C-alpha cells in the first residue's frame, strides 16, 4: 500500500513539473529515469495463458502461467543538429569520449542549404544517438505491483547507435541509396501522400532530411535511427539489442513507421507522460534543433513453470 501511495505522489509531482514550459533542449538522467513511470505508455495487459510440462519423480503434469504483454522503454533516442551535441547531458559526455578514443572527426550538420523566397523545401542534417534507457530499475518496481512482467535485456547508459561513428552510411550515404526502398517512391514514408500528411521518407536512412518543419525533420531522423537500430540486416555501425525469441518470451518486431509496434515518448524540449507515433505526435520546433525521445516497444512473456514449453493460447 505504501509503495502504491508513493508511486501516485511521484506521478503527481512529475505531472506538475512537466506542465512547466521548457525553452532549452536539455535533459538529465534523473529526469529520464522519472519519465519511465508512465502507466499509459506501459499499457500492461493479460493476453493469454501459457502451458508448461513439469516432470519429476512423481511423474509429469501440465502447469499454466499467465501470458502478459506490455511496452518497455528500451532506449533514449536523441536527434540534434550539431555532432556530439546530444541534449541528454550525461550521454553526451559518454559519446563525446568515444569520439576522442576512436579519433572520429565529423563535419557539422544543421541546415545544409539556405532557403530562397517562396521555396518550401529545406534540407536539414540530423545526427541520432540511441542509448540504453536508465529507468529500468524504477520501471521494474512499478510493474512489480502488477505481477509478472517481461525484461528486455537492455543495458542502461550503453550506446547502441551513434550516427557520428556511422559516417559511411549515415553521413556519407554510400550504402543507403542502393536499397530497393530508396529506389521506389512512396514505399516507406511517415504518414502518407494520400492523406496529405507525409512527413518524409524512411529510406535512404541517412542524416539528410528534406523537410521545412524542424520538428518533423527530427521525427523523420529519429524514426530512421530506430529502423537501423532494430533491424539486424543492416550495413550500419550499430549494436542490436533485441533478445531472441525463446520459450515463453516473444520479443517485438523491428520498428515500423505508422504502426503501433512501438511508441514514442517526448522527453525534450517538452516532456510528456503519454506516448504516440508519428505523424500523430506533434510539437513545436525546438530552438536549437534538438529533440529527445524514449522508444517504447511491446514485449510478451509468461513465467516459466516447467521444463518444457508446450504452447500458449491468446485471449480473443
Whole-number Å distance between alpha carbons of 76 and 132: 6
d(CA 72, CA 244): 16
Please tell me the predicted confidence (pLDDT) of residue 94.
Answer: 75
Mean pLDDT (whole number) for 157-166:
94
Straight-line distance from the first to the last Cα atom of the chain, in angstroms, rounded to the nearest whole number: 33
Please report the pLDDT score of residue 2 as a whole number: 35
Q: What is the pLDDT of residue 185?
A: 80
Q: Give the confidence band of 165 by pLDDT, cuts at 50, 70, 90.
A: very high
What is the predicted pLDDT for the residue at 97?
64
Note the pLDDT tens digit of each residue in 239-251: 989 889 999 999 9
pLDDT score at 230: 95
Residue 218 has pLDDT above 70, yes or no: yes
For residue 77, which of 139, 161, 137 has the smallest C-alpha distance? Answer: 161
Tell whether the model's pLDDT for residue 19 goes beyond 50.
no
Beta bridge partners of 296: 73, 263
Q: What sign does the dihedral 224-257-177-122 (CA atoms) show?
A: negative
What per-residue confidence (pLDDT) applies to 181? 86
Beta bridge partners of 123: 210
pLDDT single digits (tens) 67-121: 999 999 999 999 999 988 999 989 888 766 655 555 544 555 555 544 444 445 5
Amino acid at each position: 500500500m505504501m509503495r502504491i501511495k508513493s508511486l501516485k505522489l511521484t506521478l503527481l509531482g512529475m505531472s506538475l513539473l512537466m506542465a512547466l514550459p521548457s525553452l532549452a533542449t536539455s535533459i538529465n538522467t534523473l529526469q529520464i529515469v522519472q519519465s519511465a513511470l508512465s502507466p499509459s505508455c506501459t499499457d500492461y495487459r493479460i493476453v493469454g495463458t501459457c502451458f508448461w510440462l513439469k516432470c519429476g519423480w512423481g511423474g509429469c503434469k501440465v502447469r499454466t502461467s499467465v501470458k502478459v504483454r506490455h511496452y518497455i522503454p528500451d532506449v533514449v533516442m536523441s536527434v540534434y543538429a550539431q555532432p556530439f551535441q546530444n541534449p541528454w547531458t550525461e550521454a553526451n559526455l559518454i559519446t563525446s569520449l568515444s569520439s576522442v578514443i576512436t579519433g572520429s572527426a565529423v563535419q557539422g550538420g544543421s541546415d545544409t542549404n539556405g532557403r530562397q523566397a517562396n521555396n518550401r523545401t529545406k534540407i536539414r542534417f540530423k545526427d541520432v544517438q540511441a542509448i540504453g534507457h536508465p529507468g529500468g530499475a524504477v520501471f521494474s518496481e512499478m510493474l512489480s505491483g502488477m505481477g509478472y512482467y517481461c525484461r528486455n535485456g537492455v543495458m542502461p547508459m550503453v550506446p547502441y547507435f551513434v550516427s557520428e561513428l556511422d559516417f559511411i552510411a549515415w553521413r556519407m550515404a554510400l550504402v543507403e541509396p542502393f536499397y530497393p526502398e530508396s529506389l521506389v517512391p512512396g514505399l516507406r514514408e511517415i504518414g502518407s501522400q494520400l492523406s496529405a500528411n507525409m512527413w518524409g521518407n524512411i529510406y535512404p536512412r541517412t542524416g539528410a532530411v528534406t523537410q521545412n518543419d524542424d520538428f518533423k525533420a527530427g521525427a523523420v531522423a529519429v524514426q530512421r535511427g530506430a529502423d537501423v537500430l532494430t533491424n539486424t540486416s543492416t550495413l550500419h555501425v550499430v549494436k542490436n539489442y533485441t533478445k531472441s525469441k525463446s520459450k515463453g518470451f516473444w520479443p517485438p518486431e523491428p520498428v515500423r513507421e505508422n504502426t503501433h509496434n512501438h511508441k514514442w515518448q517526448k522527453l525534450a524540449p517538452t516532456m510528456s507522460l503519454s506516448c504516440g507515433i508519428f505523424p500523430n505526435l506533434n510539437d513545436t520546433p525546438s530552438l536549437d534543433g534538438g529533440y529527445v525521445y524514449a522508444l517504447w516497444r511491446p514485449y510478451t512473456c509468461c513465467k516459466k513453470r516447467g521444463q518444457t514449453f508446450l504452447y500458449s493460447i491468446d485471449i480473443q
